[in-house]
């Protein structure tokens, strides 16, 4: 029977983490979230870049601001 790898505790440092402090957060069981979302971030690819390169794992936004952004 195969034993799954340990999922708790510090994770090993990778070369990418050394270059980007926001990626290093995962080593400590923390995640990187934005408390702001703008249409320009989506259109420009900034949101996608933050997910791919900076380890962004979530976004939270006020529902009325989100509604206004999508309806304009």
* Rounded average pLDDT over 36-60: 89
What is the pLDDT at residue 36? 81
Using the predicted structure, report yes or no on whether residue 27 has a pLDDT greater than 50.
Answer: yes
Cα-atom radius of gyration of the chain, to the nearest Å? 16
27: which DSSP letter?
G
| 5-24 pLDDT tens trace | 444 444 444 555 456 788 88
Q: What's the chain's average pLDDT?
A: 76
What is the pLDDT at residue 3? 44
For the whole model, what pTM was predicted?
0.58
Provide the pairing of β-strand 56-59 with 32-34: parallel
């Amino acid at each position: 029977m195969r034993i799954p790898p340990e999922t708790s505790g510090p994770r090993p440092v990778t070369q990418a983490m050394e270059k980007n402090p926001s990626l290093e957060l995962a080593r400590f069981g923390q995640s990187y979230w934005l408390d702001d979302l703008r249409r320009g971030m989506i259109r420009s690819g900034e949101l996608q870049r933050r997910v791919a390169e900076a380890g962004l794992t979530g976004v939270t936004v006020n529902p009325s601001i989100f509604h206004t952004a999508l309806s304009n």
